[in-house]
Chains A and B, each alone.
Chain A
């Protein structure tokens, strides 16, 4: 019963994706062109990548608000090390190290000290962004080798598919397999639905959560690397505010903010939905402020709607039960 309702939500989002595509085409004849769709999808690569690990974290009823700051920190580290003469592969590796450590720190505070992840990661949101400025200041590092910037900027040869989106597709499939097809994945649903019960059932709740935060940090490092190459620019302020879009996408995709419910398909569909809505509004010159408002409203809507639906359902059930008794 519940499961069917969930699939219904995801199906609705997928339908909305097509509605949005259709709407965009109505708004502007330039919308549904291969090159515009290519720009449009490349534009949300980082949000898409980070939304995959965010799905897992919200599934276990935690949250990571520091993802965009870790992205900025990793971008700054990558740029600073490259500017200091490090070979690029080593600089990238170091950025991943920093991302992993940042995630580990979040995870330790949440799991070992039992602090709420909302408070921890809102703190590290500021902390990691601050560290990014310590590393790089107001400088911008550019002049990366063309080989790397082409990876961020280019498309799969012969197609209009941006390379970062191809990377996202691969990682989305892997995440879906892990989440829906392994014991580890199922344990996330169990933890999210009822953490105490999960502990009694012998699940390593602490270890699972810790690993999710580390994974989230690593994914932010990947997104930071993509961002740095896509814009050929390492700056401390890279991608600030992206956490809003990431969380909006995950919740709109039907992942419950209270944990235990959701799927990768839903998140992927919602990432596209938000990206397409933004793209369609951008092409008719709607201003940036309005776009932020739209993202915010989608977020609220996606938390509010399941809530309302649940209330309506329980009210109906109560009435039905009342009628049965009388």
Chain B
């Protein structure tokens, strides 16, 4: 019976990847260590919780260990302990891109699979890196969300960080790409404002946007500082509920604005999914389904199929949308 399911799942996997060679199933009883940056950080807690959930699904025994401070070297003794405990895989959010390398190398030499999530080391220190989201996904998803909120009609603006912020500029470039699609023909990007990731400046920039553009229907602020300052202005203005504000924010900072109706929805990656995907990726490595080469594929439970990208990077996918219905499930 057990063998048959094993065979069936192997067959299914083989078919789904169109691989002619047999793809081995995920091993049962894998020993996995999850090592967050520090153990009491609420963001990390959700991340590792996702990892533990995935471990339960695949019958692995996983545990979360970690330092109480995020110092460069405080993770080292945990890496060494994982080696001594002969864990099959180590999943970590690295506190330092370099300090851990010799230890991670030794871990890999001992046969342990190493996957980083959220915060990477240099590629020589791990086999796979789980990236929350890529720039294209973040940029496009925010326009898609705003389009839905304003019925694909009206003037829109962007409230960014500094004029030379690399990641914000890349996201804005992808927003503009998305806006070229025909379904956005009635949406017009009228202004890109810069709040310099400063609370006061972002607040006054938001005020300026609303006064300067009476037909403004929506604002995207792809920075956690900008979106919360913008929401604070909007919550007291007459345009509350008329101008839609969205962007990248954290649930804790946006909770009150979502509850009072200032903001209907905003985005960020779901940290639980990062840990979930990392665990499936680590298990796929430890079971020999993948080796970390570009183009290899594996299935990550409820999240579906993933492909290993360049330099062993795996992108979680488009950002997660938070709204009134789900925001209370998150605390970070």
Contact = CB atoms under 8 A, between A and B. Distances in A.
A287 B38 CA distance: 11
Interface in B37-94: 39, 63, 65-68, 71-74, 76-78, 80-81, 83-86
A8 B90 CA distance: 45
A82 interface: no
B86 A240 contact: no
Interface stretch (A29-37, A191-199, A294-302, A305-313): A29-37
Contact of B67 (A33, A233, A283, A288): A288
Contacts of A285: 63, 65, 81
Contacts of A40: 80
Contact of B101 (A35, A232, A289): A232
Given A282-B77, A285-B63, A30 B84 contact: yes
A43 interface: yes
B97 A142 contact: yes
Given A233-B96, A233-B99, A282 B81 contact: yes
A237 B71 contact: yes
Contacts of B72: 140, 231, 233, 235, 237-238
B98 A143 contact: yes
Nearest to B65: A285
Contact of B102 (A28, A31, A153, A289): A153
A55 interface: no
A43 B74 CA distance: 11
Contacts of B67: 288
Contacts of B66: 288
Contacts of B76: 43, 231
A231 B73 contact: yes
A35 B85 contact: no
Nearest to A152: B102
A231 B99 contact: yes
Contact of A288 (B68, B80, B85, B86): B68
A40 B101 CA distance: 18
Contact of A33 (B63, B84, B101): B84
Nearest to A150: B102
A237 B67 CA distance: 15
A86 interface: no
Contacts of B68: 287-289
A18 interface: no
B66 to A, nearest CB: 8
Interface residues of A, number: 28
Contacts of B86: 30
A39 interface: yes
B50 to A, nearest CB: 20
Contacts of B84: 30-31, 33, 35-36, 39, 283
Contacts of B77: 39, 43, 282
Interface string A155-184: 000000000000000000000000000000
A149 interface: yes
Contacts of A233: 72-73, 96, 98-99
A142 B80 contact: no
A91 to B, nearest CB: 17
Contacts of B97: 142
B112 to A, nearest CB: 12
A140 B80 contact: no
A290 B102 CA distance: 27
A147 to B, nearest CB: 13
Interface in B189-225: none
A237 B63 CA distance: 28
A36 B67 CA distance: 19
A149 B110 CA distance: 20
Interface string A15-39: 0000000000000101101011001
Contacts of B78: 282
Contacts of A237: 71-72
Nearest to A33: B84
Contacts of B98: 140, 142-143, 232-233
Contacts of A35: 83-84, 110
Interface in A226-278: 227, 231-233, 235, 237-238, 240
Contacts of B63: 285
Given A232-B98, A233-B96, A233-B99, A39 B83 contact: yes
A18 B68 CA distance: 29
A257 to B, nearest CB: 28
Contacts of B101: 232
Contacts of B85: 28, 30, 283
A288 B75 CA distance: 11
Contacts of B80: 36, 39-40, 43
A140 B96 contact: yes
Contacts of B110: 35
A141 B132 CA distance: 26
A153 to B, nearest CB: 5
A38 to B, nearest CB: 9
A237 B96 CA distance: 13
B102 to A, nearest CB: 5
Contacts of A238: 71-73
For the complex of A and B, the 3 pairs showing the least CB-CB separation, nearest first, are: A142-B98, A233-B99, A36-B84
Given A36-B80, A238-B73, A287-B39, 8 more contacts: A30-B86, A33-B84, A36-B83, A40-B80, A232-B101, A287-B68, A288-B68, A288-B74
6 contacts: A36-B83, A140-B96, A142-B96, A142-B99, A235-B71, A235-B72
